[in-house]
Amino acid sequence: MEKYTDIYHPQYIPGTYSIYTSAILHHKQLQKTSTPKNYAYNRNTPLEDIPDLKSKYGVILLPQPSNSVNDPLNWPPWKKSLQFFILLLITAFTAAIANDASAPQDSINELTGIDYGWLNNSAGVLFVSIAVSVWLYGPLASLCGRRITYVLGLLFALFGSIWYARIRHKGDIFGSQVLIGFAEGSTEAQVQLSMSSIFFKHQLGAVVTIYILATSLGTYLGPLFANIIAENRDFTWVGWSGAIASGICLLMVLFLLEEDYFDYSRFAYHSQNSLLNRSLQTHGIVSNEQDDDFGYHDAPATWKQRYSLLSAWKDRSVQELIKQYAKLLVYNFRCFWFPPVIFGGLIWGFQSAVLSFYLTTQDTDLYGEPFNYSARRIALMNIPCIIGSFIGCIYAGSLTDYFVLWVARKNNGIVESEFRLFFAFLSGIVGSVGLLMFGFGVSRGLDWRVIYVGLAMIAYLFSSAGNLAMLYVIGTYDQLILETLIAVEVINNIIGCIFTFACSPWLERSGTEATYVALAVLNLFFMFLSLPLMVYGKRWRKATKSSYIRMIEARPKG
């Protein structure tokens, strides 16, 4: 196991790991007699009865949980479920307010006189704000804990929504989007980190699938509700509704969402491999005196510790905190050149670009002849998007989980992170067909079913590409989840920003048909980058090993 879990082992490669115990790989009779007992945390289990290598249903638990009652990996199912629900709720909410700003354009234009060009440009400002905020939030997880980022994000959501409700001038639309961008940025990488803190590696596929589905629901339901609210009242109520929802979410985070930061630094050997640690202890080698019981005798955390906004601060001075914060901001750039990160950022960023294109097309082409759609009907076009997103999440999330486990059995229990990329090709083809159906359907005034099915296929691409991007990066750099996902989100939002500003001029110059043909070709190019990664990915991952280790070592310890 050491070469798959010990980052300092000469043969260790990020993204290559063993997931099955030996018993599960042999014939059924041996499996019946030799499968290790399923591990489940129980405070009353004697220390000597806790297995050296913890597994469940023959699957090795990665990361290996400690014996501490405070370890989030040991939390009871009800607590994990509550934590997960709140994280999904704030993910969907921030995605909703980030996508509903330009939905009630007619109402904003009528009441304030702000033209549609300025409203479209505000989406580009939003992308920049998200990219900057994701980067700025990054070091807080190591230095202060995770809850503070969610609280700050919801405060930005609250003030951004109030500012949106009080838009009077062009500067207001940009200012409100900057604040809302900082709200969205709080959930774009930190939530995945929290999820990886309470769920095991073999569960992350399903967990990230539901996360992407929550993001998609917020992305599509936000404009739907915004249009309905604006049609029945006016755009100001879109802002006030967001402010009310922000307050409710903020109260839930403050009083129900526990801190999932846990200090594993005192378990230096355990955190890498329990068998290696036991062997070292046999020879009298331990990282410190607290390692012997692996946290078994830890006292349950107090209410203050569970809900603190600065649980990871420890005894650092403000000056030291600022110094470490600045150091981590700069150091996090070192993972931007990792091939899986570049790939994830490109395919996820292109989906953000596609979102800008079809929303702009809806606003410019479907209100007039031959469609003459109302704002309500435009809003209802998000329904096929929700259906397509659901199918895409199941395909690229849950199905890839089963596929990875199946291939691992054929591969002596060894998983390569590129296994999931087999699913990128179908997503690329389906998404490109959807782009062509939507583009030609709008340009030629085809039956509404063509346009709606095209939208569903585009949304399928949006969700499946997001799943594959995140799961590939998380599966490769499991000890740098936050840092690598920050890089993915920065690349994603920069691409989204560039395409947002290029969107309207491109459509005007090339026309709807030619633009969507180009988008379909670009989509195939980005999704089919999976092929060189499947061929050379392991070699490239091995080349990033030294940088990966240095980044892990650079983070604050305890």
Q: Domain holding 372: CATH number?
A: 1.20.1250.20
Does one domain contain both 415 and 547? yes
Residue partners of 182: CB distance under 8 A and separation at least 6: 129, 130, 133, 152, 153, 156, 160
- Paired with 18 in beta bridges are 414
Asked if 89 contacts 212 with a C-beta cutoff of 8 angstroms, the reply is no
Q: Dihedral sign, CA of 379, 380, 381, 383? A: positive
Give the span between the Cα atoms of 111 and 125, in whole angstroms. Answer: 22
161-165, 174-178, 377-381, 470-474: least confidently modelled range: 377-381
The answer, yes or no, to whether residue 340 has pLDDT greater than 50, is yes
Does one domain contain both 65 and 79? no
375: phi then psi, degrees, rounded to nearest 5: -60, -35
Give the span between the Cα atoms of 233 and 239, in whole angstroms. Answer: 12
Task: Name the residue among 544, 413, 388 with its Cα closest to residue 466.
Answer: 388
415: phi then psi, degrees, rounded to nearest 5: -110, 135
Does one domain contain both 437 and 352? yes
Does one domain contain both 255 and 271? no
User: What share of the chain has pLDDT > 90, as a percent?
Assistant: 48
Tell me which amino acid residue 457 is: M
Give the span between the Cα atoms of 499 and 104, in whole angstroms. Answer: 22
Whether residue 313 is contained in a domain is answered as no
11: phi then psi, degrees, rounded to nearest 5: -95, 5
The DSSP result for 154-185, as a single string, is HHHHHHHHHHHHT--SHHHHHHHHHHHHHHHH
The answer, yes or no, to whether residue 3 has pLDDT greater than 80, is no
Whether residue 310 is contained in a domain is answered as no
State the CB neighbour count (10 A cutoff) for residue 314: 13
Whether residue 512 is contained in a domain is answered as yes
Domain with 162 in it: 75-260+331-554
Tell me which amino acid residue 337 is: W
Q: How far is CA 30 from CA 18, 259, 261, 361, 413, in A?
A: 19, 42, 39, 60, 16
Q: Which whole number is the average pLDDT over 226-232?
A: 85
Whether residue 314 is contained in a domain is answered as no
Give the span between the Cα atoms of 95 and 215, in whole angstroms. Answer: 6
State the CB neighbour count (10 A cutoff) for residue 27: 7
Q: Which whole number is the average pLDDT over 101-128?
A: 81
Does one domain contain both 463 and 480? yes
Give the span between the Cα atoms of 440 and 457, in whole angstroms. Answer: 14
pLDDT score, position 557 = 61
| 213 CA to centre of own chain | 11
Whether residue 28 is contained in a domain is answered as yes
Give the span between the Cα atoms of 391 and 464, in whole angstroms. Answer: 8
3-state secondary structure of 17: strand
The answer, yes or no, to whether residue 282 has pLDDT greater than 60, is no
Give the span between the Cα atoms of 469 and 341, in whole angstroms. Answer: 8
Does one domain contain both 13 and 87? no
The answer, yes or no, to whether residue 423 has pLDDT greater than 80, is yes
The DSSP result for 451-498, as a single string, is HHHHHHHHHHHHHHHHHHHHHHHHHH-TTSHHHHHHHHHHHHHHHHHH
Does one domain contain both 290 and 354? no
Considering its fold, how many domains does the chain have in total?
A: 2
The answer, yes or no, to whether residue 190 has pLDDT greater than 50, is yes
Does one domain contain both 32 and 128? no
Give the span between the Cα atoms of 317 and 307, in whole angstroms. Answer: 21
The DSSP result for 348-366, as a single string, is HHHHHHHHHHHHHHHHHHS
The DSSP result for 31-98, as a single string, is HHHHPPPPP---TTS-GGGS-SS-EETTEEPSSPP-S-TT-GGGS-HHHHHHHHHHHHHHHHHHHHHH
State the CB neighbour count (10 A cutoff) for residue 387: 17
Does one domain contain both 65 and 85? no
Whether residue 307 is contained in a domain is answered as no
Give the span between the Cα atoms of 192 and 197, in whole angstroms. Answer: 9
Does one domain contain both 226 and 347? yes
The answer, yes or no, to whether residue 289 has pLDDT greater than 90, is no
Give the span between the Cα atoms of 347 and 433, in whole angstroms. Answer: 17
The reported pTM is 0.88
Asked if 556 contacts 264 with a C-beta cutoff of 8 angstroms, the reply is no
Return the exposure string of 362-377: e unless at least 16 CB atoms fall within 10 Å of the residue's CB, then b: bbbbbbeeebebebee
145: phi then psi, degrees, rounded to nearest 5: 115, 180
Whether residue 459 is contained in a domain is answered as yes
pLDDT score, position 187 = 92
Does one domain contain both 544 and 428? yes
Task: Name the residue among 413, 415, 410, 450 with its Cα closest to residue 434.
Answer: 450
Residue partners of 527: CB distance under 8 A and separation at least 6: 347, 424, 425, 427, 428, 431, 465
55-69, 378-392, 448-462: least confidently modelled range: 55-69
pLDDT confidence bin for 278, thresholds 50/70/90: very low
State the CB neighbour count (10 A cutoff) for residue 63: 19
Does one domain contain both 347 and 244? yes
Q: How far is CA 375 from CA 19, 234, 275, 349, 539, in A?
A: 51, 12, 62, 27, 51
Residue partners of 226: CB distance under 8 A and separation at least 6: 100, 101, 103, 104, 235, 238, 379
Alpha-helical regions (H) of 233-302: 236-256, 274-282
pLDDT score, position 268 = 57
Give the span between the Cα atoms of 481 and 65, in whole angstroms. Answer: 17
Give the span between the Cα atoms of 278 and 355, in whole angstroms. Answer: 52
Q: Which whole number is the average pLDDT over 302-310?
A: 87
Whether residue 324 is contained in a domain is answered as no
In this predicted model, what pLDDT tens digit does every residue of 238-259 receive, in sequence order? 999 999 999 999 999 999 999 9
In this predicted model, what pLDDT tens digit does every residue of 68-104 receive, in sequence order? 999 999 999 999 999 999 999 999 999 999 988 777 7
